[in-house]
Structure 1
Amino acid sequence: MKTFTTLILDVRDDIAVITLNDVQRRNALSRRMVGDMFDAIESSQAQGARALVIAANGPTFCAGANIDDLRDGWMEQADPRTDPALLFRRLAEEKRIVVAAVQGPAVGGGFELTLACDLVIAEEGAWFALPEVTRGVIPNTGLALLQHIVGTRQALELVLTGKRLPAPEALQRGLVNEVAEKGASLGRAFELAKSIVANAPPGALAAAKGHLHAHAGYDWGRVVRSVSDVPRAEWQEGLDAFTEKRATDFDRLWQASQRGQQA
């Protein structure tokens, strides 16, 4: 077992379990956590792990991006080692199978983290949401990955409304593979990963996964760049409202946009 600042890596029976462990911050995807994830993935490979399981401690799977990092200009100062979109790309392009075990809310970047995994086991009480647009930002990775799973109209519904999907509805929409009993998601994800690597060789698994994603045709360059397409004033208002625990005031931004169109 190897402990990082924000997570724990445990390789057993040829399966690497990466457990998000920043419970106080609801396992938010901070710069440090993203960097730790990259390091844990590389360490698991060095230890010969044949598959990855991503789980979390505490009541929340992942609450999305760390608000302090966002306010510090994270979206405008991309660092490849701390960019969540590049982490999600790393997982999507990982040759080994990646299974998510979701035991609580997977919000924003937490939802996107599950989209970057190959298979998802969610337990009773887990739920998923992409509230970014309601905060003046966009789920850039979600926009690329989501529609290939649920279709364009459902993807737009989830992105534009930010609605919550409880685990049974996420199963119905194809966003999770199984709903497990409360407390059982990690065990089921581990069993699933172990059964896959026990019954198929590494080259076939890597080829099947790699070609599936290649056929989808993700434009990762666009994914990384797209986060900067939202005007700063809009995401600044969203972050300020979140920090100040108040409703957003986007009406003035609508008015300014309309004045600009009329000029």
Structure 2
Amino acid sequence: MSDRASHQEEDLRARAPGFGGDLAADADALARHAADTERMLAHLPPRPARTEAESDQAARLHEGCRAARHAFLTRHAEAVYDGLTSGRTRQPRLTDLAAEAAVRFPGLVPDAAQLAEERGRLQAHKEGREIDQGIFFGALLRSPTAGAHLIESMLCPAPGSAARLAEFRRTDRLELDAVLLERRGEAAHVTFRNGHCLNAEDNRLIADLETAVDVVLLDDRVRVGVLRGGPVTHPRHAGKRVFSAGINLKELRSGAISFVEFLLGRELGYVNKMARGLLRDGPAAGGTATAGKPWVGVVDSFAIGGGMQLLLVLDRVIAEEGAFLSLPAADEGIVPGLGNLRLTRLTGARTARQIILSGRRIHTDDPAAALLVDEVLPAAALDGAAERAVRDLAAPAVAANRAMLTLAEEPVDLLRTYLAEFAVVQARRIYSPDVLAKTERHWARSERAAT
């Protein structure tokens, strides 16, 4: 690094904004500081071409600006959120909220041009601007008022779900790119169709699953939802059903896994809707009420990572003999969604630590499987077991009682507090050197296997 660049960096640190408490003045100060930081970053080569000294300088510049964002949000998170939601009278989704924040509060989160510049780069070649989104959403979720409203907002049906509901009601079938939804009596069967990658989760599957879950919850003919993985085309399992291989590590390596739409949006979107239901007009206080339904999971072959996380919000889990469950967080290097919050209450602390920290797999013949799976059956008996589960859970009182169980086991404030830290930690983990190295090794192994 040149002496001139060093002096500029020291001058920037010396002029780090000290926020006085006035929102407008502090927002202006943050915008100036962020703009100065961006001008210095623009003098550096793209990330993959930087020397070690230039990489260190970029990291210091980013961290200095992130510290300023954190300090600003510590003072103003609730005021920012109220401004973006018109005093909590609007319920924007995460993507819309972040986009508006970039316009209303320049420098607080990456803007459209910065995100577009990052899009299409390998994860290891990005500046890591999603970390700034994690800081933003973490601060909002730490606020009891803003955080609760944000969680509630994400329980609203996603855009386009109402139109898909109309289609489903006409034909009892909805074909999305990565999901098939079919009504069979009182049950709606959601089948994952990402067969080329063992039904691993990517941006497309997450979006399709939220649409499917919305439709299941909105259709008053449906009393129970059923999740199952469809047949896959992967050479090692060709033609077999697989529940899910978790996050698509190839997509993560290529930079195609979105923090807002996937990693955070998944937890606040379709997974939380399965746990809590949809926000719909009703007689409850404030004019809203959640409408939830019971869910059954049928696990063929394995449920890894995000696949296993889904089982933790289901009401009945049926597994094929010889299947296994795992949360390979220690191997992948990322946080396994809300697994850390939900697993302990099912398995106890010791087993949860073995699964999450040491990568222990739970096979269906393992005594610990009884803590996570209700029935273990031969593959030929799974369909019949799913039908019995639907009959058991279709009684009108089931939905009310599962809502009370969720309230007792996972109060919204507990969820909010966890998600506030998850947003920050996960955003940093997906750019950490160990995760980037592991995704590169996984990609290299898969490339060798393909040849």
Q: Which residue of 1 aligns with 2:326?
A: 129
- Describe how 1:1-263 pairs up with structure 2 within 5 A: 1-48=173-220, 49-58=222-231, 59=240, 60-73=242-255, 77-79=259-261, 83-86=265-268, 87-94=270-277, 95-169=292-366, 172-198=369-395, 200=397, 202-214=399-411, 217-218=414-415, 219-230=418-429, 232-245=432-445
Give the residue type in structure 2 aligned to 1:155.
Answer: A
Q: For the Cα contact (< 8 Å) 2:243–2:303, is it kept in 1? A: yes
Q: Which has the higher contact order (CA 8 A, sep 6+)?
A: 1
Structure 2 Cα separation of the partners of residues 194 and 223 of structure 1: 37
Q: For the Cα contact (< 8 Å) 1:140–1:226, is it kept in 2? A: no
Q: For the Cα contact (< 8 Å) 1:128–1:165, is it kept in 2? A: yes
Question: What's the CA shift string for 1:161-202, capped at 9, x where partnerless?
Answer: 212221132654501111122233343133212222236364
Percent of residue pairs identical = 24
Question: What's the CA shift string for 1:12-34, capped at 9, x where partnerless?
Answer: 22211101112121101111111
Structure 1 Cα separation of the partners of residues 359 and 199 of structure 2: 20
Question: More deviation in 150-159 or 194-203?
Answer: 194-203
Question: More deviation in 235-244 or 187-196?
Answer: 187-196
CA separation of 1:173/1:12 partners in 2, compared to 1, >3 Å: closer, same or farther?
closer
Q: For the Cα contact (< 8 Å) 2:320–2:382, is it kept in 1? A: yes
Q: For the Cα contact (< 8 Å) 1:11–1:44, is it kept in 2? A: no
Structure 2 Cα separation of the partners of residues 192 and 38 of structure 1: 23
Match of 2:271, SS state, is helix
Decide which structure has greater strand share. 1
Q: For the Cα contact (< 8 Å) 1:35–1:82, is it kept in 2? A: no
Question: What's the CA shift string for 1:5-54, capped at 9, x where partnerless?
Answer: 11111112221110111212110111111110110111122322111111
TM-score by length of structure 2 reads: 0.50
Question: More deviation in 117-126 or 77-86?
Answer: 77-86
Higher alpha-carbon Rg = 2
TM-score by length of structure 1 reads: 0.83
Question: What's the CA shift string for 1:106-149, capped at 9, x where partnerless?
Answer: 11111112123232111112111111221222213211111111
Q: For the Cα contact (< 8 Å) 1:32–1:82, is it kept in 2? A: no
Question: More deviation in 77-86 or 234-243?
Answer: 77-86
Q: For the Cα contact (< 8 Å) 2:326–2:355, is it kept in 1? A: yes
Structure 1 Cα separation of the partners of residues 345 and 304 of structure 2: 19
Shift of 1:216: 10
CA separation of 1:170/1:120 partners in 2, compared to 1, >3 Å: closer, same or farther?
farther
Match of 1:112, SS state, is helix
Give the residue type in structure 2 aligned to 1:235.
Answer: V
* Structure 1 vs Structure 2 CA RMSD: 2.5
Give the unaligned 5+ runs of structure 1.
247-263
Aligned residues: 246
Shift of 1:226: 3.0
Structure 1 Cα separation of the partners of residues 321 and 276 of structure 2: 29
Q: Which residue of 1 aligns with 2:140?
A: none
